[in-house]
Every structure is written in structure tokens, then in C-alpha cells.
Amino acid sequence: MAETRSDVVVVGCGIGGLAAAVSALQGGAGVTILERAPREERGGQTRYTEAYLRMKSENEVTDDFEDQLARNASGYVDPSLVHLAAGPRDKWPALLKALSFADPEIVSAFADAAGPTIRWLKGFGVRFDFLPTQFLTKAQPRLLPVGGGLALVEALAAAAEKMGATFAYETAATGLIQDRAGNVTGVRAVGKGGRVREFMASSVVLASGGFEGNAEMLTRYMGPRSIFLRPICRGGYYNKGEGVQMALDVGAAPCGDFGSYHAEPVDPRSGIAEPSVFIFSYGILVNREGRRFADEALTTIDACYERVTREIFNQTNGIAYTVLDARHLEIPNYRLGLRTDQPPIEAGTIAELAGKLGIAPEALVATVSGYNRACRPGDFKPLALDGLATQGLVPPKSNWAHPIDRPPFHAYPVISANVFTFGGLKVDARARVLNKEGDPIPGLYAAGETIGMFYKNYTGATSVLKGAVFGRIAGSDAAQRRKAR
């Protein structure tokens, strides 16, 4: 069996893995990066995302950053344990240290390191700006790297290459190697042609994403309806979940909502990356039976689209249809809310539109008529919450409740894409993977979506930032550990 040695092995080449690799290299460590994809597709899902960052400046996270993460940090936690979490972490019992929730120390470390991490990324030539987003209405600002996630991948990969990192492409890690004392000393991997290799190191950083591309794990954790999900982009198909599984196999503590994922509404007809449909707030959503099932405009689109998309996932065959009239064409830059490259399905009447969608015409006509009767008079002000709500309609529509009565009528099919899975590994503020007793597994780190942090509802624009922050922390700590050893 072929064997390779380095100081740090990083599994994964997205933002988490590259940040870890470069940080470790800066600390004087020799680094090997394992990447399942070929070189031209390296970068995981980071390569395909615009990489929204929940920050109000290059130095500060948004005002609601920690509050939103804390709100979505767990399920129903025993109040007695919550009380203990308010004390110093070194006084926590083992039960609490290993508990499946994003503890306050992790949330604080994340928020505190965000600004310094942006400054660090700028040192590699990455530029940031508050560019237009796909959200026509939003509650919080989004900072973006100019050039999106691909710019992050290219800048950090170039830096890693310049500093001497070894890249092993088309190579997938399959298991961890430990010594008799329980120290992680490397990983086993398989390359092209089924060739098995061992990559030995003093530390391993798992940054290979979640399990969006693993049908077995999706069904195991989310159930048979996961067949109606698909990854948001090509990079998600490379995420098979081994990083999570191999750590669980050696006793790592799980964290994050294994039965859930970050949901985004996309057009199933499109094959491009992230073909999102974010304009349903200005019309209605109906299922295959022609019925509404959700409040399409509870608040700004950036703050409610995930909840609505989960309702789409729960419908027959996991699909719904956005139904709009000609009014939406008046919205300034409305195309920003449509990333799909497919044209709308168009008709001159609601009955004709129903026929093209495969919905019983009488059902859709009845739904639209009932909705129209529940609408109140008011001016169309699409770029701000207008409070124009339906009356006596279940479910209600809270904003932009205007009649659908101006032909031509447009429709877009919408399904829920799986942007990333929530279930992963429990880590401490140094990105060290913890075991089920709450102690660090020596030599094992995690970054990116391999870390489990989210529950119930995703705190938007934190995923790429999480990868960069904890990747940088993991790489630095691994380099320090190598010096200490």
C-alpha cells in the first residue's frame, strides 16, 4: 500500500479545506490536500456559490449574527443544561460538552473571528464589496467576494501551491488511521482505478462538506422523501459524507440537525448551478392539486424563503408552481430574483396555464379566484414590505397581496434544492473534533459543513464564512500542534 507523509492532511478543497491548508502552511507545516474532484472542478460547492457573507462591513458581522445563530442552535434543550452552559466551559460536565447544540463559545468564536478572517483573505488578493444579490427585498446586508466563491478558491489554491502544498486530486478519503493511544495519525484514501493509499500526518483536518451527494445517507437521516432533493450545484455531488462518517466511526460526537438541510427554491428544468426562483412573493405558490399551502410573503424574501421552500418539499412529489401575472414584470430588475435559465410557462388565461402545468383547470381557477377575492386595494410597491395582506384567507399572504388578474400569466416550477446538510461533527472553538465525552480527539480537526452547527432554519450567509473562519483556526492549531510534538 502506497504511503505519503506530511505534517497536516486536509480532506477537501472548498473554502474550509483551503483555508485550513493555507493557514497550516503559514504556520510552517507541510500540507497534503485530498480532493475527490479533478483539478478543473476543485473547490467543492464554494466554487459555484456567490458566497454571501452576513457582515455589515469588512470588520463586523451583522447586528443579528449571534442572535440568529443562537436561535437556530439546537432543538429543545433541557433547561438545566442550558443553565450550566452559562458558566465557564472548563466547568461543564462531559454530558454538556458533547451535547448536540452550537454552544455559546462556538457562536462567539465564530463572530469574533469573522472580521480578522476577511482581512486575512484580502491578503491573498480577494476583494469584497456590497454587490447586488438575488434578493429583491432583504432584512440584512450581504458582503460578497468580488468574483464569488470561485475567487476564494482560486486565490487560496494559488497561495497553497506557491507555499508548497501537495494536491492529490481524484482521491477520496475513506477512513481515519489512529495509533494505540487514540491519536489520529492519517487517513486511508482511494484514488483512480481503486488504488488504496495511506496519507500519514500529525494532524488531519476534515473539510469535505456534508452528504448532499450520498443517497444512502440522505435516506438514512431524512427519509424516503429525500429522493425529491437534489444538490444546489455540481459541487454538491462530490460530497459523499465520508468526512462525517469516518469521524463518527472513531467516536466523534455528532452535532447539527442530521434530519435537515439548507433549502433553496430552484427550477427543476435547469441544469445550471443554483437556478433559483425568488419571486414567488409577488404571486402565489400552488401544488400539483392546484392549492396554496404557504404564506408566500411573510417577510422579506431573504428571511423567509427557506421556510417556504421546506413547505414546497412537503408537497406531492416535492414540487410547486409560482403563479404570477403581468404585474411582476413592472418590478425594477425583477430578473435578479430569477437565476433559472429557463423561460416562464406562459398563458393568456389561468385555465390555459393550469393545462400547461398539468393541474386540473377548475382547481387552479378556484384557487386564484378565492385568492383574488381576499386581496384588498393598494398600490404595488414591490421593493419594501407593504403590509398589504389578504383577508379571511387560509393560509394568508402577509405582503404584496395583489390580485392575479393581468394577462399574460407566468409560472415557474419550483423544487427544494439541498444546498448543504446540517448534520456533522461537534468541535470546540479551536476546531478540534470532540468525542462523545466532550474531549478533543487528538490530531483531528474539522471545518466547513463537516462541522455540525445548524438546526431547524439556516442563518443565511454564514456557510462560506463558517468554512473560512474554522478552516483558518483548524490549520493554525494543527501547525502549532506539529511544533509542540
Q: What does the pLDDT look like over 111-132, one tens digit per residue?
A: 999 999 999 999 999 999 999 8
Are 148 and 296 within one domain? no
Start-end of H helices in 409-451: none
Q: Which residue has the higher pLDDT, 81 or 296?
A: 296
Q: What is the CATH number of the domain that holds 337?
A: 3.90.700.10
d(CA 11, CA 18): 10
Q: How far is CA 430 from each of CA 20, 302, 444, 469, 477, rounded to the nearest angstrom?
A: 12, 31, 11, 10, 7
**Mean pLDDT for the stretch of residues 49-70:** 96
Could you say which of 417, 441, 471 is where a domain stops?
417
Distance CA 277, CA 287 (A): 16
Binned at pLDDT 50, 70 and 90, residue 194 comes out as very high
| Boundary (domain end) residue, out of 370, 398, 417 | 417
**Residues 100 and 253 sit within 8 Å (Cβ to Cβ):** yes
Q: Which amino acid is at 177?
A: I
Q: What pLDDT, on the 0 to 100 scale, is given for residue 93? A: 92
Q: Taking 90 as the threshold, does the pLDDT of residue 139 lie above it? A: no
Are residues 107 and 248 located together in one domain of the fold? yes
Q: Which domain holds residue 370?
A: 263-417
How confident is the model over 282-338, as pLDDT tens digits? 999 999 999 999 999 999 999 999 999 999 999 999 999 999 999 999 999 999 999
In the predicted model, is pLDDT for residue 485 greater than 80? no
Does residue 348 share a domain with residue 247? no
CB 377 within 8 A of CB 403: no
Sign for the pseudo-dihedral over CA of 411, 412, 415, 420: negative
* Amino acid occupying residue 91: K
Spatial separation of the C-alpha atoms in residues 11 and 369, rounded to whole Å: 55
Considering the domain architecture, whether residues 390 and 317 belong to the same structural domain is answered as: yes
Q: What is the pLDDT of residues 159-176, one digit of tens each?
A: 999 999 999 999 999 999
Note the pLDDT of residue 328: 96
Q: Do residues 462 and 326 share a domain?
A: no
Across 257-277, average pLDDT: 97
β-bridge pairing 2-5 and 8-11? unpaired
Q: What is the CA radius of gyration of the chain?
A: 24
- Residue 267 to residue 333: CA distance in whole angstroms: 19
In the prediction, which pLDDT does 471 show? 98
308 in the same domain as 186: no
Flag whether pLDDT at 3 surpasses 80.
Answer: no
378: confidence class by pLDDT, cuts 50, 70, 90: very high
Residue 85: pLDDT band with limits 50, 70, 90: confident
What are the CA-CA distances from residue 43 to residues 38, 119, 169, 247, 420 (Å)? 10, 21, 11, 22, 15
Q: What is the pLDDT of residue 482?
A: 83
Q: Are residues 316 and 457 located together in one domain of the fold?
A: no
* Rounded Cα gap, residues 402 and 418, in angstroms: 31
Structurally, how many domains does the chain consist of?
A: 2
Query: Could you tell me the CATH number of the domain that includes residue 197?
Result: 3.50.50.60
Rounded CA separation 370/392 (Å): 10
Beta bridge partners of 309: none
Q: Are residues 285 and 399 in the same domain?
A: yes
| Same domain? 176 vs 131 | yes
Q: Do 19 and 80 reside in the same domain of the chain?
A: yes
Hey, is 402 helix, strand or coil? coil
The pLDDT mean for the chain works out to: 96
Choosing from 385, 417, 449, the residue where a domain stops is: 417
Convert the pLDDT of each residue in 325-375 to its tens digit.
999 999 999 999 999 999 999 999 999 999 999 999 999 999 999 999 999
Considering the domain architecture, whether residues 251 and 300 belong to the same structural domain is answered as: no
Q: How far apart are CA 438 and CA 432, in angstroms?
A: 11
Domain identity same for 341 and 232: no
Q: Which pTM value belongs to this model?
A: 0.96
* pLDDT level of residue 1 (50, 70, 90 thresholds): low
